[in-house]
A and B are shown apart, each in its own frame.
Chain A
Amino acid sequence: MPDASSAKISFIMNAQAVQIAPAHGARLSEVLREDLGAREVKIGCNAGDCGACTVLVDGAPVCACLMPAMQADGRTVETITGLKATELAVDIAARFADHGAAQCGICTPAMLTSAVALLRVHPHPSEDQVKDALGGILCRCTGYRKIIDAVMGRAAVLDGPKDTVGAAIRHVDAAPKLDGSLRFGDDVAPVGCLEMAVVRAPFAHARFSLGDIAGFVAQHAGIKAVITADDIEGENRFGVIPDFADQPVFAVDKTRFRGEAVAAIIGTPRAVSELLKDDFPVTWQELPSVQNVPEAMGFGAPQLHLSRKNNVMCGGNVTCGDPDGTLEKADVTVTGRFETGFVEHAYIEPEAGFAQVVNGRIEIHACTQAPVMDQEALATILGRPMAGIRIVPTAVGGGFGAKLDLSVQPFLALGAIKTGQPVRLCYSRVESMQSTTKRHPADMRLTIGANRDGTLQGFVFDGDFNTGAYASWGPTVANRVPVHASGPYRIADYRATSRAVHTHNPPSGAFRGFGVPQAAIAQESLFDELAEKLGMDALDFRILNALDDNVQTVCGQVFEQGIGIKACLQALRDVWKYEQNAVQKVNNAGGGQMRRGVGLAAGWYGCGNTSLPNPSTIKAGITRAGDIVLHQGAMDIGQGANTVISQIFAKALGVPVAAITRVGPDTDVTPDAGKTSASRQTFVSGNAAKLCGEALRAKVLRKLNVGDQTVLEFGTGGIAVDGDFRLKLESLPTDGDGYVFTAIESYDPPTKPLDENGQGVPYAQFGYCAQLAVVEVDSTLGTTKVVRIVAAHDVGQAINPLLVEGQIHGGVAQGLGMALMEEYIPGRSENLHDYLIPTIGDVPPIECIIIEDKDAHGPYGAKGLGEHVLVPTAPAILNAIKRACGVRMTSVPVTPSKLLHAINALKGES
């Protein structure tokens, strides 16, 4: 029979007949993306685990990454690009926009495509039908609930026509997410450009030597170059915190974690794809490694960095009052030890991008949360001035902290310099999971005391954080944890200490909450134990001890306003009472096997850097045509910075959001708005946007010589005042950017350093939250199903309530994953079928209660939110499990195996 390898196949692609000769064994996804330019088909895992590549073949959803391209022959293939013009898809896309159901947008083409397939058959699907239809697509941002609402056609609540601060409006950048045109890290490289494969360590700790590289290049047709540490003209060292920068771009002689890079191979796409695992000349010698903190600090343990004795990188400390003495005098004390594992960010977009040399400058197009930090780090690595490096961020398919650190960027830059040609790199899922940062595993011991009346009396916390092989954000975690480990409570006598300890693991870095979610698991679990011991209601106990205006925090900081924790807790009172009764009824009726429980937890989170400057700058201008141009450099990674910054700026300038044109992010075009991290963009960049809008407005008002209350309208060549055309712009002089009026403003939150006892002003504002979880535990199988979450969040002022809900939903889903299923184990869960994140069937209905206790420093009173959202989720679930089946789980994730073991142990005791 004929070999079809060289044969052309024909199929109908989005209503057009196409002919193509796929490479041997090519996946349909590759052919669609690379040969047919269908970059709306996203690759998240290449294993059928994430569903991002879903397309319709003869109307049926399939993962394009699992289908041999040859199987498309004679069939019909549809992607969102083809579907988007259909009436059904237009309708669903509008519903997605109305519900904010697309955040980062990387899963959106697949979600929409699958939704179309479902709605063609079932125009009015049940919730279960929606879940079954979309169960094969992972989303890491939204928590799925908004997607379910959109597909089911549930009503959305949008505001209008007023669209600035306080208005629930669509994401301003929703359209390209919904029509498949948004371009992510791997979507922007020139077609057919050189590609790269990174050579990585196969062991946790190893010595290595590189062989005959010139020979390797010569022997492999299509391989153009290999880059190693020898190609680095600046420093072979990077790190997000300058004093701790310790990570090589390419390891020299020794590697310190499985997946660490030692070289990168550059060649044509075909040559790179045909490389075999053992082709590259490197010899490895495995060395003894340390996997956890006790091993790392043990006698004779291998030392990762000679200057860091006993593998201890750094520590943190906050002390006030007399914690030990007070604990001794307390009527009641509780003590506990809690452990958490590595958690993977599991954004659906792996790290990707391309670099090129343009007029002698290096241009990097990649997904990132911190363009200017990338630029600074590359300047050091490449030994070039910052002006010689341009960072043009692509859309970011989820970040959650890990895209703050460099990943593909130095490899791409070095590759482009070495070859003089554009070079492209997209991490495989395994590579992404092996080599990028993780949430710190924590081992926390604490004792908390109280008097009979329930008042807290003494609190001592000590935590070890496994910081992996390199510093990354480990120092930030070590600092943040002691400041936050008290939770949002008044505690006069307190000591919290932390250590960040190196091990032979991927660097632990930033992950939504910087160690605070781990500490909250310990503190909020033990609060329930304490309340139980006191015979107090868990909610009353928290309200009694809640922090308040004019009460010192554990850092000695006093806020005169804006402490909304009591309001958050009080907002849960009715549902707390209701669910306690409801749960009891269900349990009494159920006969014992399925046990329901309800749990509570609270949290707080300081917005912005801890006692360090972190200014944001926003620029804007008015063109001669009357266009308002906002230079918005705060990375929108799906959380909605583009929308929120626009709403704040619009309010300050006194125009509708719809009147604004955004440009950026691009280090050539947008001033530094800092990193998207620390829940700082709404607060810090929002303030800069407010100042910028106000300054621009002041300039216009001055020129027009009109008063503050004037209503301005911009457009069609001029400015109208209170409805009357007043100023023609076309003849006015412009600056270098072409602006008649321009303003650039910065904001840096007022903080003060912490002294040796951690006393000072770590943050200008905190956000507050309390959540309630209802779970159902199958006490004979150990499985836990979360059936309801109610989340009360004090956001100061909701700039956009729709986006607030989106953040809460997404954070809750991540907290649920951390509580029940997520644990990264190097070498064992390096893919998305062994590392489990919640699917659409795992996230329960989430009700949001938005509390607005305005903050004096926030723009229009707004507080940050992004990280707060998952702080209380895991402990609320753990507390609910305790009430469901009597078991206090002290380590997460609470897998069925662990929970059943604990349930049986409890039975054995009683």
Chain B
Amino acid sequence: MARYFVAHTLEEALDVRTQGAAEIVAGGSDYFPAKSHNKPQGDILDVTRIAGFSDINETNEGWRIGAAVSFSALITAPFPPAFDGLKQAARQIGSVQIQNVATLVGNICNASPAADSVPVLLSMGAEIEIMSRNGPRQMPLGDFITGVRKTALMPGEIVTAVLIPKMPESVQSAFEKLGSRAYLVISIAMVAVLVEVAEGRISMLRVAVGACSPIAVRLVELEGELIGKPIADLDRFSVTAAHLAALSPMDDLRGSANYRLEAVAEITLRALRRAAHA
């Protein structure tokens, strides 16, 4: 007989994770669609009532976003401008109904190549905080997602939060999503940009692209080329194939691989300009 565990403390949740293979459920927006034919059969661990899991905290190191924080909560949180891209992504995930329940950590753990929050968090240098009976560990998001629908989460572990390092108020951000309709749409491609401009020049830049590779990636070449340049250069800059060499898009229902590359070049440029002029 399958069991449904409602954990109220991290201790309880770790007990369940240690004992067996209970599936973790938070918002349910990825969990149930994956089971549209059959009823859930296995044990379920509900993490939405764990103390502290729904908190967003500013710490000395930066921001800590609990594992049960929904996208709606992110949208209304008092974040600095560096989080604007994250808020823009949150507003474009599914619909209000989805945003009200779906969690940032769930979006990460589901590890879909089309997860809208992942490129944003990559650009922000997010770390994943993990807890198990052996104690806490922490790893960069880029290491946590290991493949399509695969993460580094081990049996007995639970993700407790996303950690975003402190960034100055001068850091600006933007997110561009490309989809085939206005709402409820899985991205064809998306780009997140985090930029700092000092004295008219780009002093820091991170650009990440999603839905164009098994795991969202940073465009390190592009970043390197633009850092140090005046932002006015963005007006005549163009994104080239070489900048996008890290991408390996697929042909699917939403668009061809070639289309994705062309479109990403354009939305990257738009996100760069929008972030720089934010």
Contacts and interface: CB of A to CB of B under 8 A. Distances in A.
Interface string A439-466: 0000000000000000000000000000
B183 A839 contact: yes
| Residue of B7, B96, B258, B259 with most partner-chain A CB within 10 A | B96
Contact of B2 (A24, A67, A836): A24
Contacts of B183: 131, 135-136, 839-841
Contact of B255 (A47, A63, A836, A895): A895
A699 B247 CA distance: 80
A825 B253 contact: yes
Interface stretch (A272-280, A547-555, A612-620): A272-280
A57 B188 CA distance: 31
B129 interface: no
B6 A70 contact: yes
Nearest to A275: B38
Given A46-B32, A48-B33, A66-B33, A4 B5 contact: yes
Interface in B168-196: 178, 180-186, 188
Contact of A1 (B1, B5, B262): B5
Contacts of A62: 97, 100-101
Nearest to B14: A1
8 contacts: A1-B15, A61-B100, A66-B29, A73-B6, A114-B97, A135-B184, A782-B259, A783-B178
A70 B33 CA distance: 17
Given A24-B39, A821-B181, A896-B259, A61 B2 contact: no
B96 A61 contact: yes
Contacts of A48: 29, 32-33, 94-95, 97-98
A133 B91 CA distance: 11
A132 B32 CA distance: 24
Interface string B82-115: 0000000001001111101100000000000000
Interface string B24-43: 01011101110111111100
A588 interface: no
Interface of B: 1-8, 12, 15-16, 25, 27-29, 31-33, 35-41, 44, 46, 48, 72, 91, 94-98, 100-101, 178, 180-186, 188, 253-256, 258-259, 262-263, 266-267
A895 B101 contact: no
A848 to B, nearest CB: 22
Contacts of A533: none
Interface stretch (A373-381, A731-739, A826-834): A826-834
Contacts of B186: 833-834
Contacts of B91: 132
A275 B96 CA distance: 33
B101 A277 contact: no
A152 B258 CA distance: 42
B4 A60 contact: no
Contacts of B27: 66
A834 B254 CA distance: 8
B94 A136 contact: yes
Contact of A47 (B2, B5, B33, B185): B33
B244 to A, nearest CB: 15
B6 A67 contact: no
Contacts, number: 186
A105 interface: no
A896 B188 contact: yes
A828 B182 CA distance: 21
B215 to A, nearest CB: 21
Interface in A812-840: 820-821, 825, 828-829, 831, 833-834, 836, 838-840
Contacts of B101: 62-63, 66-67
B7 A47 contact: no
Contacts of B262: 900, 904
A829 B253 contact: yes
A734 to B, nearest CB: 53
B37 A430 contact: yes
A133 B96 contact: yes
A901 B259 contact: yes
Contacts of A3: 3-5
Interface string A47-91: 111010010010011110111101101000000000000000000
B3 A5 contact: yes
Given A66-B33, A70-B46, 16 more contacts: A25-B44, A46-B32, A60-B72, A60-B100, A61-B96, A66-B31, A136-B94, A136-B183, A430-B36, A820-B180, A838-B181, A840-B183, A841-B182, A896-B178, A896-B255, A901-B256
Contacts of B182: 131, 135, 839-842
Given A135-B183, A896-B188, A428 B36 contact: yes
A25 B5 contact: no
Contacts of B25: 68
B234 to A, nearest CB: 15
Contact of A136 (B4, B184, B266): B184
A781 interface: yes
B39 A5 contact: no
Given A24-B2, A833-B186, A839-B182, A63 B97 contact: yes
Contacts of A307: none
Contact of A781 (B33, B95, B267): B267
Contacts of A57: 100
B39 to A, nearest CB: 5
For chain A, give the interface size range: 35 or more
A46 B32 CA distance: 8
B36 A135 contact: no
Interface string A109-144: 000001000000000000000011101111000000
Nearest to B45: A1
A4 B6 contact: yes
B44 to A, nearest CB: 6
Nearest to A136: B95
A495 interface: no
Contacts of B255: 895-897
Contact of A25 (B4, B37, B94, B259): B4
Nearest to B99: A136
B80 to A, nearest CB: 24
A19 interface: no
Interface string A1-14: 11111000000000
Given A71-B46, A781-B263, A838-B181, A1 B96 contact: no
Given A273-B39, A897-B256, A900-B262, A136 B96 contact: yes
| Residue of A4, A23, A68, A780 with most partner-chain B CB within 10 A | A68
Given A66-B101, A70-B6, A51 B36 contact: no
A39 interface: no
A901 B262 CA distance: 10
Q: Which 7 residue pairs across A and B have the least CB separation, nearest first?
A: A136-B95, A841-B182, A25-B40, A135-B183, A1-B12, A3-B3, A897-B255
Given A63-B97, A66-B28, A839 B184 contact: yes
A430 B185 CA distance: 18
Contacts of A897: 188, 254-256, 259
A900 B256 CA distance: 11
Nearest to B27: A66
A429 interface: yes
Interface in A555-578: none
Interface string A861-901: 00000000000000000000000000000000001110011
A63 B98 contact: yes
Nearest to B29: A66
A897 B48 CA distance: 39
Nearest to B23: A25
Interface in A14-41: 23-27
A517 B88 CA distance: 38
Contacts of A780: 266
B254 to A, nearest CB: 8
B229 to A, nearest CB: 22
B70 to A, nearest CB: 9
Nearest to A904: B262
A2 B49 CA distance: 14
